[in-house]
Amino acid sequence: MIFQWWNDLVDWFNSDQGAAFVTGSLVPFLAIIAGGIIVGLIARSSLRRLISQQDRQAKAAAVAALISSGRRAATWSTLSAGEKEHVDYQASEAEVRVRLLPLKGANVAADWAAHKIATMKKNSVNYSFQAEQDLAELQEGLLDWQARPGRAKKLFAQDLTSWKYETGEAEDELVVKQQEWASRQAAEEAAQSNTATASGSAAGSTASAGSAASSSAHTAPTTVVTPDRN
């Protein structure tokens, strides 16, 4: 049965009516489908290249803004109040732009850059060389992340973990020093209070003795004179 259908179909294609159908309808239909598929693939490839190019431009702009903020932060101590406010605004905007990038480790990179910029602000007062070194590390780290996001993400995570550990130790040491200082202050205040109380008591005793002596000195015996009637 199946072979009979197949033979009939082959015979129909070999006939004039079948040949006209193949050349007039089937071949143009298949050509249209193939053309649509090829155009779709070309459009998809072009769209992907366009999106990739826009992502690279956005990433480059965000990284450049962070590096520019770091360059200004390296000279933080020499900036005026208005310039400092502008740098803070620029750094915050660049950090948000980095976080919004559709890349691996965008949040980690933003946290790492924010910590670097904050460190540069602190070191710009007395340690200009250290601030310049931090700026170089910021540039190298962000450029490396732009080229290889996966590898740079691991390095940023390691740095953040070590900084968090160091910050925790520094905070614990600061808490201990504050507690020691508070204990010394309490002891000094107690000693001063006891000294003041003892001095007040001694002064009160001396005043009482002086008052008693003065009263005795000013008190004179009373003599009664009786007139003689004779």
Tell me, what DSSP letter sits at residue 225?
P
- Contact between 101 and 58 (Cβ < 8 Å): yes
* pLDDT score at 42: 92
Q: What is the pLDDT of residues 160-176, one digit of tens each?
A: 888 777 665 445 455 55
* pLDDT score at 52: 83
* pLDDT score at 196: 66
Residue with the bigger pLDDT between 178 and 184: it is 184
In the chain, the amino acid numbered 219 is T
- The predicted model gives 149-158 an average pLDDT of 80
Range with the largest mean pLDDT of 125-134, 163-172, 211-220: 125-134
HEC sequence for the chain: CHHHHHHHHHHHHHCHHHHHHHHHHHHHHHHHHHHHHHHHHHHHHHHHHHHHHHHHHHHHHHHHHHHHHHHHHCCHHHCCHHHHHHHHHHHHHHHHHHHCCCCCCHHHHHHHHHHHHHHHHHHCCCCHHHHHHHHHHHHHHHHHHHHCHHHHHHHHHHHHHHHHHHHHHHHHHHHHHHHHHHHHHHHHHHHHHHHHHHHHHHHHHHHHHHHHHHHHHHCCCCCCCCCCCC
| Angle formed by the axes of helices 106-123 and 81-99, nearest 10° | 160
Range with the largest mean pLDDT of 112-116, 185-189, 224-228: 112-116
Q: What is the pTM of this model?
A: 0.54
* pLDDT score at 38: 92
- HSE, CB side, 13 Å, CA atoms: give it for residue 83: 11
- Contact between 145 and 60 (Cβ < 8 Å): no
Range with the largest mean pLDDT of 1-10, 164-173, 175-184: 1-10
* pLDDT score at 65: 87
Does the pLDDT of residue 219 top 50, yes or no?
A: no
Q: What is the pLDDT of residues 31-46, one digit of tens each?
A: 889 989 999 999 988 8
